Amino acid sequence: MRQRSTRDMQRKTEEEAENRKPRHTLNVETQVITYVFLALFLALVAYFIYFMAFKSEDFINNPANPRVKGFEKLVVRGEIKASDGTVLAKTVTSNGEEVREYPKGREYAHVVGYNSNGMSGIEADNSFYMLRSHAFIVNRIVNDLKNEKNPGDNVVTTLDTSLQDVAYNGMGYYQGAVVAIDCNTGGILAMVSKPDFDPNTVTTNWKSLSSDENSALLNRATQGLYPPGSTFKVITALAYLKNGGKLTDTFDCKGSYTEDG
């Protein structure tokens, strides 16, 4: 009896010791699944932060974004202005409908763009901003009560009207593009592309414009792909002048290069 009692006590002691050991409630498979879902969640959070920081503006300004159409029912599209306040695009009412009017017409056609049969230029890049309204809150409340639209925010560009005039007139009837950039800020001071079009008649002339063999709708300043070619000669010429050369100097180049094959 005493031996059995001793064995029972020993077994009981072993069971108590076993119970005091830490129990792993999760097996290996469960742990793996948990870590996988945790990694996926962290990846989703990281992508959300990346999207909001770098990609959200592209989606907001996308013409296919249904939110943009929703804002058009509540807000009158804002104006586009040059740096001196000259209005380059505005919304007017014609036959009971809102339409965009471009006072400067062809001269700013490519840089300002159009807002019918799609969008281009500043009209496309800043569409969402012109459909937001930061009007005084009291005015917005009054407009809402009167079932009237609120004025949209304006976009003020860095375009210099004087430089734009010079660039546009200087291009004449040549095909090509001219861009003037502020070297200190990177701001676009002038942008001209030829041939051009009248943004006020895009809807009326869409068929002929979209099939134009000279691609009048193409902004050659931003959409054309051209090799640098002779534009690099400006750099070599400046280097020559900096090292004592003169604009009146001439040089007879007799060098040649033969490509194999």
pLDDT in tens, 227-261: 777 778 888 889 999 999 998 998 888 888 787 75
pLDDT in tens, 182-231: 999 999 999 999 999 999 999 999 999 999 999 999 999 999 888 777 77
Cα 80 to Cα 91: distance, rounded to the nearest angstrom: 10
Taking 70 as the threshold, does the pLDDT of residue 118 lie above it?
A: yes
Strands (E) in the chain, as ranges, are 75-76, 80-81, 87-94, 97-101, 150-151, 155-156, 176-181, 188-194
Cα 153 to Cα 102: distance, rounded to the nearest angstrom: 17
Q: Which pTM does this prediction carry?
A: 0.68
Q: Which domains does the chain have, with CATH numbers?
A: 79-123+155-237 (3.90.1310.10)
Mean pLDDT estimate for the chain: 86
User: Which pLDDT score is estimated for 54?
Assistant: 80
Which member of 94, 211, 230, 256 is catalytic?
A: 230
**Share in percent of the chain as helix, strand, coil (round to 5):** 45, 15, 40
- A 10 A CB-CB count for 74 gives 15
- ∠ CA 120-126-127, nearest 5°, is 75
pLDDT category, 15, cuts 50, 70, 90? low
Q: 210 an active-site residue?
A: no
